[in-house]
Amino acid sequence: MAHQVRRNIPGFDLTLTTGSGQCFRFNETQKDCYSLIAYGKWLQIRNLGNDCFQFDCDAADFEKIWRLYFDVDCDYGVFGNCIPAEDGFLRAAFDYAWGLRILRQSPWETLISFIISQRKNIPAIKGCVETLSHRFGNQIDETSFAFPEPWQLSGLTLEELQACSLGYRSRYILQTARQVAEGRIDLGALSKADDASLQEALCALPGVGEKVAHCVMLFGFHRLSAFPRDVWINRVINQEYDGSFPLHLYAPYAGVIQQYMFCYGRSPTYRKMQENKESAI
């Protein structure tokens, strides 16, 4: 029988977290049950109800990898406590997205994944990431493959990458992989840089603009001050804040607030509310 670990994690919504666009290697295998590949490991995690979750791994791996990965020890309630009562939208967003956590992912995998993400929807991004992993990553078991390391991508040809449906991003990925593999950029050292220096270094990489840099900072380096702006966030800011969001109020943890806005802004609840408003005009 496989090892299993059960943990009580209050304030953790598995479905919201897996569907929030942070990570592209979650797959729902059945209701309330997801598989994940990260850090060269395969994991199945199941929501058993009443804040109890089952991890298909041994206790050592849970403590060494998954406890940190799922940000288990952070009290996300403190972020909600800082939202002004008069901000009705953000209060509703917090209530809707309560339980969402910022995953602590590999900076390397996050960097390449978000270079891929440009002008692609989530299913397409997931497909590209899986293809890269199956073709060039290390095999974990009969069906699972780790995300390829920098040296595994740096030795490829442009044609091999283009065959993974990466399009114009292939050149960016190849150039970035070579910089990392050759030590011209040290992602480990960047983890110790301040936010401004980290953003500057990321934006100097091929195919990385401000939005991708902020995604990598937030989801790969756990810089909670990063605030990625995409079409969904811009739409919410225009609709709810007349185009100007008071980011200074949430500077140290703006990325958590961004995720609440992102999840709520894409939700059927919010979209229906907007439709009702428009029809009433």
Query: Per residue in 243-270, pLDDT tens?
Result: 999 999 999 999 999 999 999 999 999 9
CATH architecture label of 107-220:
Orthogonal Bundle (1.10)
- Confidence band, pLDDT 50/70/90 cuts, at residue 281: low
* pLDDT digits 0-9 by tens, 185-238: 999 999 999 999 999 999 999 999 999 999 999 999 999 999 999 999 999 999
The answer on pLDDT for 1 being more than 60 is: no
Structure tokens at 252: 């140290």
Q: Where are the domains of the chain?
A: 5-73, 107-220
d(CA 260, CA 254): 10
Length of the chain: 281
d(CA 176, CA 116): 12
Structure tokens at 246: 């008071």
Average pLDDT over residues 32-45: 97
The answer on pLDDT for 105 being more than 80 is: yes
pLDDT at 19: 92
* pLDDT digits 0-9 by tens, 112-170: 999 999 989 999 999 999 999 999 999 999 999 999 999 999 999 999 999 999 999 99
**Of 248, 256, 202, 204, which Cα lies nearest the Cα of 228?**
256
The answer on pLDDT for 2 being more than 80 is: no
pLDDT at 273: 87
Instruction: Provide the whole-model pTM.
Output: 0.95
d(CA 23, CA 148): 15
Average pLDDT over residues 22-30: 96
CATH architecture label of 5-73:
2-Layer Sandwich (3.30)
Domain 5-73 and domain 107-220 have a common topology:
no
The answer on pLDDT for 68 being more than 80 is: yes
**Of 174, 42, 13, 201, which Cα lies nearest the Cα of 107?**
201
Average pLDDT over residues 87-107: 97
